[in-house]
């Protein structure tokens, strides 16, 4: 059964870099044709797609965040990583990772299930 | 960017009643729309995709309809566990995807 688990520091100082890990079990990041995404949820902006990575390694980013975001994979550890540079209070949110919906082997691109449980990151000095 | 507008913001109903939630897109998204349920402290859970297809293990009381710019999520008879926040999400011009701001379904 596919499970995703986000982890990382809960508190980051303004102007520093936020770094999170999504550990995947029950599936391989290298197995196609899946897409692995990062999302966040803040009280002010609701749910927001940050970006993600195809199994091939091709990243796609939300244009509004692209200049500050990097998403990559450590295939030896089966982990997806997210870094957000130059954070401000507006980056305070619960961060989630998720995978493409798959039903009976068919991938439904752009819909997401399952999701990890999420990790709260607060940006504050 | 496609903007999704959900209404109402809050809906107060009693168990056993029928719930109707709306999602309107700023431009046509064909049928590329999903609905998620989120309970406090939990991740979103996918209920409906492609506007009307139920995801795995989703009860039949949940149904979706619509195409183009106007969509509806209907819960035919509310169970106590259905009181939550519901979000719509579109993927018509993947990537990106965008979400609505949510409808909170409260117990009356």
Provide the chain A residues 5-44 that lie in CB contact (below 8 A) with chain B: none
| Average pLDDT over all residues of chain A | 94
Q: Which residues of B touch A (CB under 8 A)?
A: 32, 34, 42-46, 49-50, 55-56, 87, 89, 91, 94-102
pLDDT at A13: 98
Q: Residue A83: pLDDT above 90? A: yes
Residue B93's pLDDT is: 87
Inform me whether the pLDDT recorded for A97 exceeds 80: yes
Q: How far apart are CA B69 and CA B105, in angstroms?
A: 22
pLDDT at position A57 is: 87
Q: What is the pLDDT of residue B95?
A: 86
CA–CA distance, B67 with B29 (Å, rounded to integer): 7
Q: Given this model, what pLDDT does residue A31 score?
A: 84
- Closest-CA distance, A3 to chain B, in angstroms, reads 13
Cα–Cα separations (whole angstroms), residue B57 to B29, B53, B75, B82, B92: 26, 12, 15, 14, 25
**Nearest one of B49, A125, B70 to B62, comparing CA atoms:** B49
Mean per-residue pLDDT for A19-34?
92
Q: Would you say B44 and B102 are in contact if contact means Cβ atoms under 8 Å apart?
A: no
Size of interface A-B (CB pairs under 8 A): 57
Check A115 against B102: CB less than 8 A apart.
Answer: no
Give the residue on A whose Cα is nearest the Cα of B101: A46
Residue B8, preceding peptide bond in cis (omega within 30° of 0): yes
Rounded distance, CA A69 to CA A86, Å?
Answer: 10
**pLDDT value, residue A44:** 67
Residue pair A36/A30 in contact (Cβ under 8 Å)? The answer is: no
Structure confidence at residue B92 (pLDDT)? 96
Report pLDDT digits (tens) over B8-50. 999 999 999 999 999 999 999 999 999 999 999 999 999 999 9
pLDDT of A3 higher than 80 = yes
């Amino acid at each position: 059964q596919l499970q995703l688990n986000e982890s990382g520091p809960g508190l980051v100082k303004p102007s520093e870099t936020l770094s999170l890990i999504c550990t995947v079990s029950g599936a391989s990041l290298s197995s196609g044709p899946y897409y692995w995404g990062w999302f966040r949820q803040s009280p002010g902006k609701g749910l927001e797609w940050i970006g993600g990575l195809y199994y091939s390694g091709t990243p796609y980013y939300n244009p509004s965040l692209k200049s500050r975001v990097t998403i990559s994979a450590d295939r030896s550890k089966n982990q997806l990583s997210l870094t957000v540079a130059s954070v401000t209070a507006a980056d305070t949110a619960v961060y989630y990772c998720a995978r493409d919906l798959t039903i009976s082997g068919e991938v439904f691109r752009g819909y997401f299930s399952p999701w990890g449980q999420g990790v709260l990151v607060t940006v504050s000095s | 960017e496609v903007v999704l507008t959900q209404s109402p913001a809050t809906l107060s109903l009693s168990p056993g009643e029928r719930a109707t939630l709306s999602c309107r897109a700023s431009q046509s998204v064909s049928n590329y729309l999903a609905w998620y349920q989120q309970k406090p402290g939990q991740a979103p859970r996918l209920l409906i995709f492609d506007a009307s297809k139920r995801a795995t293990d989703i009860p039949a009381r949940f149904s979706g309809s619509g195409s183009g710019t106007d969509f509806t999520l209907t819960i035919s008879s509310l169970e106590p566990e259905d009181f939550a926040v519901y979000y719509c999400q579109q993927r018509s011009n993947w990537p990106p995807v965008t979400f609505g701001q949510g409808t909170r379904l409260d117990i009356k």
